[in-house]
């Protein structure tokens, strides 16, 4: 684990995204809230938020971070068809929140898969990536 003890506390924000593609029938069932397990997007949002709080337990050598705010937003995309997720995490601390934002996106998408798999086992999760980060010694970064 890297020693961050001497680093200054700074405001840090990271945003990540990902997607899950599925059949049109599955997409329609999610959009119309007709899935047997309940409100898929609400449960996936909670899963993403909960995942950020456990990131340091899931990823070896990742520092625990006191999060200020976490958001998990969904866009139903009929062109996939599927769901796009965008997450954000922020803190004031000595280390960044990139892994927290990426973990939120990953777990939200895995939860979508779990809740819809009875209808569509061929769903594909993809395009999980960091969109941007700010704060800290390395400064700001935005995906090209």
The pTM score is 0.94
Residues in CB range of 58: below 8 A, 6 or more apart? 51, 103
Catalytic residue among 28, 73, 77, 114: 114
What's the pLDDT score for residue 110?
A: 98
Overall average pLDDT of the 122-142 stretch? 95
Task: Provide DSSP, 1-51.
Answer: ----TTSPPEEEEEEEEEEEE--HHHHHHHHTT--TTS-HHHHHHHHHHHH
Binning pLDDT at 50, 70 and 90, where does residue 5 land? low
39 is catalytic: no
User: What gap in Å lies between CA 20 and CA 112, rounded to an integer?
Assistant: 8
Q: Sheet with 10-21: list strands edge to edge.
A: 69-77, 82-93, 10-21, 124-134, 141-142
**Does the pLDDT of residue 68 top 70, yes or no?**
yes
- Average pLDDT value over all residues in the chain: 95
């Amino acid at each position: 684990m890297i020693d961050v003890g001497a680093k200054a506390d700074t405001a840090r924000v990271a945003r990540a995204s990902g997607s899950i593609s599925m059949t049109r029938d599955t997409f329609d069932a999610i959009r119309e809230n007709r899935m047997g397990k309940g409100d898929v997007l609400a449960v996936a949002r909670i899963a993403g938020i909960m995942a950020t709080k456990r990131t340091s337990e899931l990823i070896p050598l990742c520092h625990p971070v006191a999060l200020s705010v976490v958001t998990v937003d969904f866009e139903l995309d009929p062109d996939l068809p599927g769901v796009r997720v965008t997450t954000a995490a922020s803190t004031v601390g000595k280390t960044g929140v990139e892994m927290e934002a990426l973990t939120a996106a990953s777990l939200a998408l895995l939860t979508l898969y779990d809740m819809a798999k009875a209808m569509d086992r061929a769903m594909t999760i993809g395009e999980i990536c960091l969109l941007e980060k700010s704060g800290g010694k390395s400064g700001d970064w935005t995906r090209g």
